[in-house]
Amino acid sequence: MTSEVAREEEEEEPRTRGVPILSFLGAMRTLAGYDAVNRMMGLLPPELRDAIGHRWLLPKEWYPLSWYRVMHTAAQTATGRGRELSRLIGRETTRADFSGIYRVFVVVMSPQALIARAPRVFEQYYTRGTIETPVCRAGFAVLAWRGCAGFDRNMWDDMLGSVEALLELSGGQDVRVEVLAGGGDKDEDTDMQLTWT
């Protein structure tokens, strides 16, 4: 790869697939109702509002990660709730995404087997960043997120909720997910400790 191509890729805005954006809308309907979704829609930038309203979003296409960030902020404003809403949205979107055809994958896998596959799953949804699993054994794992440009505190809370839901869906009980380092606004790197029985 030439340095010019590498520079262009570095300068390109981080992107996410359409699936998380579409799942977010469903989670908001479930958690807060249609009125809250309508209030949230009124707070979104016109290009995002139009993409949602006209159903231009496609699950497998790439969209600006900033759209997902602004949805969290708008959802909190529309509902009058704080950061805990982002964690709940992460849980709900993951439960919804894995309740259909993908349900069989989480049911037959142990929590640690599912966590070991997290790096491959993450790169299917985001253009920037990686996940490493330096420790992954029955009942305990550490996830090291690296280079997640464009993530903010709400997105990290969303990820916490998503990881919690995945562990529970795969049979984990007494699930705890804690941030060891990072997890704030502008943090591209975050370490999470996961425990379950």
Which domains are delineated in the chain? 3-97 (no CATH), 105-195 (3.90.1520.10)
Q: Are 118 and 145 in contact (CB under 8 A)?
A: no
What is the Cα–Cα distance from 85 to 68, expressed in whole angstroms? 14
The whole-model pTM stands at 0.91
Tell me the torsion sign for CA atoms 67, 69, 70, 74: positive
pLDDT digits (tens, 9 = 90+) for 11-58: 689 999 999 999 999 999 999 999 999 999 999 999 999 999 999 999
Check residue 101 and give its pLDDT: 67
Give me the residues paired with residue 63 across strands.
16
What is the Cα–Cα distance from 157 to 48, expressed in whole angstroms? 22
Tens-digit pLDDT profile for the chain (197 aa)? 444 444 345 568 999 999 999 999 999 999 999 999 999 999 999 999 999 999 999 999 999 999 999 999 999 999 999 999 999 999 999 999 888 767 777 778 899 999 999 999 999 999 999 999 999 999 999 999 999 999 999 999 999 999 999 999 999 999 999 999 999 999 999 999 999 99
Check residue 97 and give its pLDDT: 87
What is the Cα–Cα distance from 187 to 132, expressed in whole angstroms? 16
Please give the structure tokens belonging to residue 83: 């950061």
- Cβ density class 72-92: b for 16+ within 10 Å, e for less: bebbbebbeeeeebbbbbbbb
What is the Cα–Cα distance from 39 to 130, expressed in whole angstroms? 34
Q: Are 128 and 170 in contact (CB under 8 A)?
A: no
